[in-house]
Amino acid sequence: MMNLAIDQSNLYLLIPSKMGWLTNMLSNDEDISVVDAIKKLYSSEMYKKLENESSKTWHLDLLLFMKILWKNIDFKQELLSMGSNVEVLTPLKLRE
């Protein structure tokens, strides 16, 4: 039987599709180039959390990712307001 569990060893399979969608959304929303959107996403605290399976951010909806990136909102507060019991550690801020 095939193992369908997501762990650190196979998380890398999910990241490219999420980043592709996010890049397109960010590029369109902020009217920036795809390259600039990629730079912004890959330098964000959100990406650091996404590439760490234990943060469980790979579960998040793409629109929630964008809301967090756009508004620099507190990630834990947002999940709690949605009724989530996911433990998340710190607010997210984009690097300058």
pLDDT tens for each residue of 23-46: 998 898 889 999 999 998 898 888
pTM of the complete model: 0.65
Angle, helices 62-71/15-30, rounded to nearest 10 degrees: 50
- For residue 37, what is the enclosing H or E element? helix 34-42
**Rounded Cα–Cα distance for residues 55 and 49 (Å):** 6
Query: Would you say residue 92 lies in a domain?
Result: no
Query: Would you say residue 91 lies in a domain?
Result: no
**Each residue of 43-81: pLDDT tens digit?**
888 888 888 888 888 888 877 777 777 665 555 565 556
Q: Which domain holds residue 48?
A: 14-81
pLDDT at position 1 = 66
How many independent structural domains does the chain possess?
1
